[in-house]
Chain A
Amino acid sequence: MTDIIKLTAAEVAAKIASGELTAVEVTEAHLARIEAVDEKVHAFLHIDREGALAQARAVDEKRERGEQLGPLAGVPLALKDIFTTEGVPTTVGSKILEGWIPPYDATLTKRLKAADVVILGKTNMDEFAMGSSTENSAYGPTGNPWDLTRVPGGSGGGSSAALAAYMAPLAIGTDTGGSIRQPAAVTGTVGVKPTYGAVSRYGMVAFSSSLDQGGPCARTVLDAALLHEVIAGHDPMDSTSIDEPVPPVVEAARNGSVQGMRVGVVKQFRGEGYQAGVVQRFDESVELLKELGAEIVELDCPSFDLALSAYYLIAPSECSSNLARFDGLRYGLRTGDDGTRSAEEVTSLTREAGFGPEVKRRIMLGTYALSSGYYDAYYGSAQKVRTLIKRDFDTAFEQVDVIVSPTTPTTAFPIGERADDPMAMYLADLCTIPTNLAGNAAMSLPCGLAPEDNLPVGLQIIAPVMKDDRLYKVGAAVEAAFVEKWGHPLLEEAPSL
Chain B
Amino acid sequence: MPGITREEVAHLARLARLELKPEELDHFAGQLDDIIGAVARVSEVADQDVPPTSHPLPLTNVMRPDEVRPSLTPEQALSGAPAQEQQRFKVPQILGEE
Contacts and interface: CB of A to CB of B under 8 A. Distances in A.
Contact of B43 (A363, A378, A423): A378
B80 A101 contact: yes
B32 A361 contact: yes
A67 B79 CA distance: 37
Interface stretch (A3-11, A216-224, A345-353, A467-475): A345-353
Interface string B76-98: 11011111000001011111000
B62 interface: yes
Nearest to B64: A236
A75 interface: no
B7 interface: no
A437 interface: yes
A261 B96 CA distance: 63
Given A344-B95, A387-B53, A363 B18 contact: yes
Contacts of A380: 46, 52
Interface residues of A, number: 69
A465 to B, nearest CB: 7
Interface string A349-377: 10110010000110111011001000011
Contacts of A371: 12, 15
Nearest to B63: A239
Given A306-B41, A309-B39, A351 B57 contact: no
B62 A239 contact: yes
A137 interface: no
Contacts of A347: 17
Contacts of B50: 384, 387-388
Interface stretch (A21-29, A181-189, A329-337, A409-417): A329-337
A196 B56 contact: yes
Interface residues of B, number: 55
Given A309-B41, A351-B18, A210 B48 contact: no
B81 to A, nearest CB: 6
A343 B19 contact: no
A204 to B, nearest CB: 16
A365 B36 contact: yes
A390 B57 CA distance: 10
A239 B32 CA distance: 33
B51 interface: yes
A210 B32 contact: no
A364 B57 contact: no
Interface in B37-61: 38-46, 48, 50-57, 59
A384 B45 contact: yes
B54 to A, nearest CB: 6
Chain A CB within 10 A, most for which of B34, B43, B72: B43
Interface in A273-323: 306, 308-310, 312-313, 320
Nearest to A439: B56
A339 to B, nearest CB: 8
B46 A334 contact: no
Interface of A: 100-101, 103-104, 196-197, 210-211, 236, 239-240, 242, 306, 308-310, 312-313, 320, 324, 327-334, 337, 339, 341-349, 351-352, 355, 360-361, 363-365, 367-368, 371, 376-378, 380-388, 390, 422-423, 437-439, 465
28 contacts: A103-B80, A196-B57, A239-B59, A309-B41, A309-B42, A310-B42, A330-B89, A337-B92, A341-B92, A343-B92, A343-B95, A347-B17, A348-B17, A351-B18, A352-B21, A361-B31, A361-B35, A364-B32, A381-B45, A383-B53, A383-B54, A384-B48, A386-B53, A388-B50, A390-B53, A422-B31, A423-B35, A465-B57
Interface of B: 1, 4, 8-9, 12-13, 15-21, 24, 28, 31-32, 34-36, 38-46, 48, 50-57, 59, 62, 64, 72, 76-77, 79-83, 89, 91-95
Minimum-distance CB pairs A-B, first 3: A439-B56, A331-B80, A383-B52
Given A240-B59, A306-B44, A360-B28, 5 more contacts: A348-B18, A361-B35, A368-B12, A387-B52, A423-B34
